[in-house]
């Protein structure tokens, strides 16, 4: 009996180690790491950062290959024309942050900083209209292209945070009304992106709660306010990527 049991134990298959990921990180400046103020020299105007959540995830996981193709300023058309070629049937994980530039993120922020409460409201409303009426089709096309190019990958759509906190703020003219209106626009954008991600069978990573209390005008900001150089403005900093984006992504991927 003892010999039989020993033989059975010896014959039992060993558990296979988890396979290393073939990871591709796509999208715009929120994915590339603009706001962290440190960029890979060879990334040029795309401003891909060693402190971006995608690079942090790759550095802390078993990764066989890592294609970091997110690029500052990208819209959905840029993903479809210039980022998909890094995907294949071997890709096992894709993350993407996209859609903010399609609805005019930078112009909304500019109009709210420089204009009146009323002009800010109008700018956000225009962005919301694009989010509801134009962005869904663009996301559907982009997500379908990602699935076609990476048929075996888990795809995580990383959402945008609410940018602002209420209360006192040292930014001249950046009223609570403006900050609240921008946050409302961020909620509309999140709803649209989450809906289309679900329709595509992708996982939506909602980052709004992770950034709560750490937006622009907080005592401990994880999102830059107006900055020099200007491109760093209203983008998550190193803490935003390490303490908000990365934990949310880790909760989904393990």
Q: Radius of gyration over alpha carbons of the chain, in Å?
A: 21
Tens digit of each residue's pLDDT (9 = 90 or more) over 70-116: 999 999 999 999 999 999 999 999 999 999 999 999 999 999 999 99
Q: Which residues have a Cβ under 8 Å from the Cβ of 239 and sit 6 or more positions away?
A: 214, 220, 222
Tens digit of each residue's pLDDT (9 = 90 or more) over 169-203: 999 999 999 999 999 999 999 999 999 999 999 99
Q: What pLDDT, on a 0 to 100 scale, did the predictor assign at position 14? A: 44
pLDDT-derived band at 4 (thresholds 50, 70, 90) equals: very low
What DSSP letter does each residue of 85-127 carry, written as one string?
A: GG--TT--EEEEE-STGGGTHHHHHHHHHHS-HHHHHHHHHHH
Q: What pLDDT, on a 0 to 100 scale, did the predictor assign at position 230? A: 92
Report how far residue 200's alpha carbon sits from residue 190's, in angstroms, rounded to the nearest whole number: 15
**Structural domain boundaries in the chain:** 45-253
Strands 203-205 and 154-158, sheet pairing: parallel
Closest among 168, 252, 150 to 217, alpha carbons compared: 168
Res. 6: pLDDT tops 60 = no
pLDDT-derived band at 18 (thresholds 50, 70, 90) equals: low
Q: What is the pTM of this model?
A: 0.91
H helices of the chain, where? 2-11, 29-32, 53-59, 76-82, 105-114, 117-133, 135-149, 176-199, 208-211, 238-239, 246-253
Q: Which CATH superfamily is domain 45-253 in?
A: SGNH hydrolase (3.40.50.1110)
Instruction: Answer whether 187's CB lies under 8 Å from 134's CB.
Output: no
Mean pLDDT of 23-32: 98
Catalytic residue set: 29, 235
Q: What pLDDT, on a 0 to 100 scale, did the predictor assign at position 192? A: 98
pLDDT-derived band at 2 (thresholds 50, 70, 90) equals: very low
Report how far residue 123's alpha carbon sits from residue 111's, in angstroms, rounded to the nearest whole number: 7
Burial 171-180 (b: 16+ CB within 10 A, else e): eeebeeebbb
Res. 11: pLDDT tops 60 = no
6 versus 179: the higher-pLDDT residue is 179
Res. 7: pLDDT tops 70 = no
pLDDT-derived band at 19 (thresholds 50, 70, 90) equals: confident
Q: Which helix (H) or strand (E) holds 205?
A: strand 203-205
């Amino acid at each position: 009996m003892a010999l039989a049991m020993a033989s059975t134990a010896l014959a039992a298959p060993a558990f296979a180690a988890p396979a290393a990921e073939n990871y591709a990180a796509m999208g715009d400046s929120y994915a590339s790491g603009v706001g962290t103020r440190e960029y890979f020299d060879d990334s040029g105007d795309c401003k891909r950062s060693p402190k971006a959540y995608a690079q942090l995830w790759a550095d802390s996981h078993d990764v066989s290959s890592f294609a970091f193709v997110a690029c500052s300023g990208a819209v959905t058309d840029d993903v479809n024309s210039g980022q998909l070629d890094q995907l294949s049937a071997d890709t096992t994980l894709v993350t993407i942050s996209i859609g903010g530039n399609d609805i005019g993120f930078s112009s909304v922020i500019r109009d709210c900083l420089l204009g009146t409460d009323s002009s800010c409201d109008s700018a956000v409303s225009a962005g919301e209209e694009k989010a509801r009426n134009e962005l869904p089709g663009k996301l559907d096309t982009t997500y379908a292209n990602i699935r076609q190019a990476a048929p075996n990958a888990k795809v995580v759509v990383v959402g945008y945070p609410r940018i602002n906190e209420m209360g006192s703020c040292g930014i001249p003219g950046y009223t609570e009304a403006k900050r609240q209106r921008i946050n409302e626009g961020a909620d509309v954008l999140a709803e649209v992106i989450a809906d289309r991600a679900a329709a595509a069978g992708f996982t939506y990573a909602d980052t709004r709660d992770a950034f709560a209390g750490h937006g622009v005008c907080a005592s401990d900001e994880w999102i830059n306010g107006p900055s020099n150089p200007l491109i760093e403005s209203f983008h998550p900093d190193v803490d935003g990527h390490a303490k908000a984006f990365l934990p949310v992504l880790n909760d989904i991927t393990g």
